[in-house]
Structure 1
Amino acid sequence: MGSQAAFLAEVMASDGLVATDRLATQLRITKTELAGAMGLSRDAVSKSSRLRAPSTQARLRDGVEIINRILAWSGSLPQAFAWYRAQPIPSFGDQTAEDLVKEGRAEAVKRYLSRIAVGGYA
């Protein structure tokens, strides 16, 4: 659990917003790649007015929360992010968590992960 708390502490700014520069650094990707992985435009993660928009922050928080949940099972942040981007989820027609977040279906992914966490089936 320590690595999960450390990840959240690192990527969340003191004002409660997701710090995209720190998140990109933690994930070892560019901010442009981060925008793509979260289904956002490049401007949404680079222009401060767009970055502070509630819809942008909600999408970023969803991605961070999903990656953080996977971190406990995957063993490392790179592995958690790889799962987010590439692991097909049978319950969703083999779409990835990234695909679902891009479609605005992050809540469905979080419910799926909650079911798995308590021993449910995929």
Structure 2
Amino acid sequence: MPALSADVLESMREPGTSRLSPSRLAELLEMQQQELAALAGVHRNTLRMHSESPRLQAMLRDLVRLLSAATAIQSDWQRLVFFIKNEPVAAFRHKTLLQVVQEGRTDDAIAYLESVASGFAG
């Protein structure tokens, strides 16, 4: 299956910058702003007033990496978002992939997705 489409990736960009847009990413993930702020470990006002925050941008990049990896196993966007937000993964003690990313374990979540995509169970 294809990687994250250029259109989806572009829709996450903050207009006129090379930064990811917290509000656009929250909208794509069907999350409230405060949920995204909690995921990134920043105050909710940071999303609006300091979207250039290195900590915030690093988390947004990790989310984009996760989404890109997830497209290898799920091409339907709504199902993909549901999966990463809600599906408990046994390999991670039944945490969701978003919870794993929040713990700073994006590489582990991506390795799991790559394993599933290649036919191995994690």
Q: Same fold (TM over 0.5)?
A: yes
Distance in 2 separating the partners of 1:113 and 1:41: 30
Shift of 1:105: 1.1
Greater mean deviation of Cα atoms: 2-11 or 88-97 = 2-11
Mark the runs of 5 or more structure 1 residues left unpaired by the alignment: none
Deviations 1:60-115 (A, max 9, x none): 11112212322343332222111111111111111111111111111111121122
AA at the equivalent of 2:19: L
1:6-62 per-position Cα deviation (integer Å, ceiling 9, x unaligned)? 2112102453321112222323333223324555431332222xx212221111111
Structure 1 pair 67/96, CA: closer, same or farther in 2 (3 Å)? same
Quick check: 36-45 or 72-81, which moved more?
36-45
Task: Report what 1:85 is aligned to.
Answer: 85
SS state at 1:114 partner: helix
Tell me: CA distance 1:83–1:103, structure 2 relative to 1, closer, same or farther (3 Å). Answer: same
Structure 2 residues not aligned, in runs of 5+: none
2:54 equivalent to 1:54: yes
Q: TM-score, normalised by structure 1?
A: 0.79
Structure with greater proportional helix content = 1
RMSD: 2.3
Q: How many residues align?
A: 120
- Which residue in 2 is equivalent to 1:65? 65
